Amino acid sequence: MTVSPTTRRYARMKAPKSAVVAWKTAERQEVSRVETIALGGLFIRTKNPPKAGSTIQMLIVTPRGYLRTRANVRDVIAGEGMGVAIVSMEPEDRGKLERWLKQLAELEETAKTGA
């Protein structure tokens, strides 16, 4: 049986080890490591993620400063983490995220080519 890959609007990238996000729900707040990142969302490592469908507020830490976003929890892997879709952010923060992702892509490409 063949499983078709999920079609994504934005390509995912492996986040640098230093990438962290502070996030909160109405009940709790936590700081977690970012596993993968894209313009449309992230996979956040956390032992106890909120249930799918929850809305969270996030503060993504980047080399260019903090990005404030709101996201919906789309997928949950119990004991491992959650995939979240960004649903809103200020245009300035979106620009910062786009520039950071471009920089990460360039670094990844440089590492592949050995230049």
Give pLDDT, residue 1.
41
Give pLDDT, residue 113.
75
Residue closest to 61 by CA, chosen among 71, 69, 53, 73:
69
- Coil, strand or helix: which one is 13? strand
Give pLDDT, residue 87.
97
Which residues of the chain are under the pLDDT cut of 50?
A: 1-4
The one-character DSSP state at 54 is -
The dihedrals phi and psi of 5, each to the nearest 5 degrees, come to: -70, 150
Give pLDDT, residue 4.
41
Apex 63 CA angle, 61 and 68, nearest 5: 35
